[in-house]
């Protein structure tokens, strides 16, 4: 069986797309090495050295096929020229990601799509005009695409696909994701202390992880931190890790206007090693997003042995289960009360950490890969 995995939206191994395909392919090569694999990409991919970073065994383990188009125009071009049929005529399975959907194959092939979320269709105001237009195009395309099944990463995403796009529920299979293996490994204590010290973190801190975009709700987290600080419930720092976004201005406005801005750190890019250190050294993770299709940071915090304060909305209760403390994301006071409760109660923190370790056992890339591969065979 020859399986094509679409990597057109993969910018780096740090992106959710890159991480998903990379870890899925690793497990496929481990458990199903007898199959043939093709990495299919449209031009426009940057910052990846496929032979050294992406392919677990170098380029000998599978083929790479590159299509000479700018990826953002692919679905428009597909309506006039079925180029997928030309470049993938010998494959049996096409596994796409998000908005990249082949519309026509002369020979019947199975088509699968993995979708994290359709948030741009639910909250378009959170995104740029160009991005909203791409998702509007996708919403029309999916209605006549000939896919066999859609893989949703959460029950929340499944509900959105049914309610917003009208996808038949029987066409959707929910297969949750898992944490990247490196987060489970503890960093050497001396190295951990050294890296945090170099960042100026020699005291307790609350950690926030997520791109500086509107739905991550960071301005309200900053306001909640201010309440906790002003009431002297917590005297440590607030550390925000996330890259800038065209709509990041409210985050920086909240930061510059904060009376505690000297104790707020915004780290735009950190290495994987530094991120692990930031997790493992934190007192608590505040992941109070307005909407998520899955929520990797919750599992990363569980793996790192720290408690989580998160939103009671969207998919986050699915991921956190009983192992997180939930707050109302649009209520600054609710967020502040949740943070206060966790930072002040050591017994609660220990209980949440233990529950997090147990909850983490429900998620594994082995399970994700096996359930996905089994779907190919049905």
Query: What pLDDT is stored for residue 247 in this prediction?
Result: 86
Q: pLDDT tens across 276-295, in order?
A: 999 999 999 999 999 999 99
pLDDT above 90: residue 308 = yes
Dump strand ranges (E) for 11-165.
36-43, 63-70, 93-97, 110-115, 149-152
Q: State how far the Cα of 291 lies from the Cα of 122, in Å rounded to an integer.
A: 10
Residue 12 has pLDDT above 60, yes or no: no
Q: Which residues contact 268 (CB under 8 A, 6 or more apart)?
A: 242, 243, 244
Residues 348 and 310: beta-carbon distance below 8 Å: no
User: Residues 235-249: what's their mean pLDDT?
Assistant: 91
Q: Go through 336-373 and write b for each residue having 16 or more CB atoms within 10 A of its CB, e for each that does not.
A: bbbbbbbbeeeeebeebbebbeebbeebbbeebbbebb
Confidence of residue 52 (pLDDT cuts 50, 70, 90): low
pLDDT given at position 88: 83
Mean of pLDDT values over 170-183:
93
Give the rounded percent of residues in the chain with a pLDDT score beyond 70.
88
Is the pLDDT at 253 greater than 70? The verdict is yes
Cα dihedral 193, 199, 204, 206 sign:
negative
pLDDT-based confidence at residue 95 (cuts at 50, 70, 90): very high
Q: How sure is the predictor about 7, in pLDDT bands with cuts at 50, 70 and 90?
A: confident
Q: So what's the pLDDT on residue 141?
A: 77
pLDDT of residue 143: 72
pLDDT at 117 (0 to 100): 92
pLDDT band at 367 (very low <50, low <70, confident <90, very high): very high
Least confident of 26-30, 106-110, 111-115, 159-163: 106-110
pLDDT at 21: 84
pLDDT, averaged across the chain: 88
Q: Give 103-147 pLDDT, tens digit per residue.
A: 667 678 899 999 999 999 999 988 888 888 878 878 877 776 778
Q: CA-CA distances (angstroms) from residue 170 to 111, 157, 161, 298, 307? A: 15, 14, 11, 29, 36
The three-state secondary structure class of 327 is strand
In contact, 93 and 102? CB cutoff 8 Å:
no
In this predicted structure, the answer to whether residue 258 has a pLDDT above a threshold of 90 is: yes
pLDDT of residue 66: 77
> What local confidence, expressed as pLDDT, does residue 47 receive?
42
Q: How confident is the model at residue 55 (pLDDT cuts 50, 70, 90)?
A: low
């Amino acid at each position: 069986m020859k399986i094509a995995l679409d990597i057109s939206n993969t910018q780096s191994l740090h992106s959710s797309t890159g991480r998903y395909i990379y870890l899925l392919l690793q497990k496929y090569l481990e458990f199903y090495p007898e199959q043939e694999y093709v990495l299919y990409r449209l031009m426009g991919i940057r910052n990846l050295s496929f032979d050294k970073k992406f392919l677990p065994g170098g380029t000998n383990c599978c083929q790479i096929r590159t299509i000479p188009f700018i990826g953002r125009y692919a679905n428009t071009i597909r309506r006039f020229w079925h180029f997928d049929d030309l470049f993938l005529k010998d494959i049996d399975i096409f596994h796409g990601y998000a908005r990249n959907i082949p519309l026509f194959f002369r020979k019947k092939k199975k088509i699968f799509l993995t979708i994290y979320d359709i948030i741009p269709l639910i909250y378009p105001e959170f995104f740029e005009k160009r991005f909203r237009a791409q998702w509007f195009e996708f919403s029309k395309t999916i209605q006549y695409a000939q896919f066999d099944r859609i893989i949703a990463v959460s029950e929340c995403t499944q509900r959105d696909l049914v309610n917003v796009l009208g996808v038949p529920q029987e066409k959707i299979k929910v297969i949750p994701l898992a944490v990247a293996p490196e987060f489970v490994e503890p960093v050497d204590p001396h190295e951990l202390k050294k890296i945090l010290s170099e960042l100026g973190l020699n005291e307790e801190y609350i950690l926030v992880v997520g791109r500086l975009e509107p739905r991550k709700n960071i301005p309200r987290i900053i306001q909640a931190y201010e309440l906790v600080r002003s009431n002297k419930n917590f005297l440590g720092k607030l550390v925000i890790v996330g890259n800038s976004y065209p709509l990041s201005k409210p985050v920086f406005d909240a930061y510059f206007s904060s009376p505690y801005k000297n104790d707020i750190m915004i780290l735009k890019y950190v290495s994987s090693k530094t991120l692990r250190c930031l997790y493992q050294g934190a007192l608590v993770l505040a992941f109070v997003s307005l909407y998520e299709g899955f929520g990797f940071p919750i599992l990363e915090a569980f793996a790192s042995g720290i408690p989580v304060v998160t939103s009671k909305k969207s998919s986050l209760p699915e991921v956190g289960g009983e192992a997180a403390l939930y707050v109302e994301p649009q209520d600054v006071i609710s967020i502040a009360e949740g943070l206060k409760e966790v930072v002040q109660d050591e017994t609660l923190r220990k209980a949440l950490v233990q529950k997090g370790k147990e909850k983490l056992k429900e998620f594994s890339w082995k399970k994700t890969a096996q359930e996905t591969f089994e779907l190919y065979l049905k």
